[in-house]
Chain A
């Protein structure tokens, strides 16, 4: 049952991210739903599932991106495992704390991506951080916080996390 849920999640993320989200993008920046989904799975299901689902999301989304595979695997798998660890260490995860956490991790991964672009000079790298990584991190944080808040309205999230 869980496997089926994860399979549907991964399958639906691709059209959402590539076809529908570009219509909702602000200044051509859209949130990374795969990143947010991996973090939420990590929070609710633990580090191992967070890692595996994150890796699956990273790989499948990378099939529909011009980006490097290793970066996608590292970012999505990393956020899944990190969210799993944090979810286990913290008793109370609120939508605000999750949003801020996602913002910071997304910003870190954006910085890492900018540094990994070897053909960019310093000014271009700064432009990439300022115009892509930072707005996307804000977007990811907001979407993650919003989704967690929605889930907390429908389900008893603390019980969901400890099950």
Chain B
């Protein structure tokens, strides 16, 4: 039995609109996307208002929870962290020595001094609207100078790269997403590869030369060859090596350095090494070298 509430013409209009949309999406996908991009900025600003309001309420609730309620096991964690600090202090003094030596050698070789990357600090205000991608939403967008393909990091290491921007927000595809690829380098052996996410939420370094002498525990850093990352930012640590007989390359599983599921604040790399830092110095910019 059919209802008579919907006029026949409305049904025809709906069908015609949908058919037209289907044809347009398949025949002219870039033009449709380009057309809608003009509206993305202003609409992003409007939608950003309730989004930021709810995100700030959410953050303050989470903050209170972490400060007052979820304090179980803090004493053990504290003791463990103290031990870690002691160990890191030792490492720090060693690294200072290395740093001084590097400076002397650099001066000796008369290397041209490289500009530090300029970064914009941003807050995570949400996660991808779908379940199909591992992505986070930042509260800074085009109006803050953020553009697609810029690298996103925390002081601990690489988080991902910007894939989409609106006026007041941007979407960052995480390093653990299978459709993300970042050029990587094994720090110890200097062998290059491509870091891709896995479906299990880890990362994998692919296309490593067969003769590479990599081993578990090796650190993988950005190679700086392509994309929005300068060389030397930590991506992760190798946990498992996959070397198959007859394969042209070997690959390795990585444990990402940053816990991307819990990241709250990030830095977006606006200008990489060797590029002008003039534009980035205007806004809320932090000129901070990466670890």
Which residues of chain A are near B13, meaning CB under 8 Å?
Answer: 48
Cα A119 to Cα B196 with chains together (Å): 12
Does B15 lie within 8 Å of A64, measured CB to CB? no
Across-interface contacts of B163 in A (CB, < 8 A): 66
For the side of the interface on B, what is the size category?
35 or more
Contacts of A136 in B (CB 8 A): 131
Whether A29 lies near B126 (C-beta < 8 A) is no
A73 near B21 (CB under 8 angstroms)? Answer: yes
Residue of B nearest to A33 (CB): B129
**In the bound complex, do residue B55 and residue A15 qualify as a contact, i.e. CB atoms below 8 Å apart?**
yes
Whether A38 is near chain B, meaning CB under 8 Å from some CB there, is no
Q: Is the CB of A15 within 8 A of B126?
A: yes
Q: Does A152 contact B (CB under 8 A)?
A: no
Interface string of B160-201 (1 = CB under 8 A from A): 000110100101010001110000000000000000000100
Q: Are A88 and B14 in contact (CB under 8 A)?
A: no
Interface pairs A-B: 4 shortest CB-CB: A18-B126, A15-B54, A66-B133, A47-B14
> What residues of chain B have their CB less than 8 Å away from a CB belonging to chain A?
1-3, 5-6, 10-11, 13-15, 17-18, 21-22, 25-26, 29, 32-33, 36, 40, 43-44, 46-47, 50-51, 53-55, 58, 125-133, 135, 137, 163-164, 166, 169, 171, 173, 177-179, 199
* 5 extra A-B contacts, CB within 8 A, seeds A60-B47, A64-B47, A124-B199: A15-B126, A52-B17, A70-B29, A81-B18, A87-B3
Can you sample 14 A-B contacts with CB below 8 Å? A17-B129, A20-B58, A47-B11, A47-B15, A52-B17, A59-B36, A63-B40, A66-B164, A66-B177, A67-B133, A70-B29, A74-B22, A81-B15, A161-B5
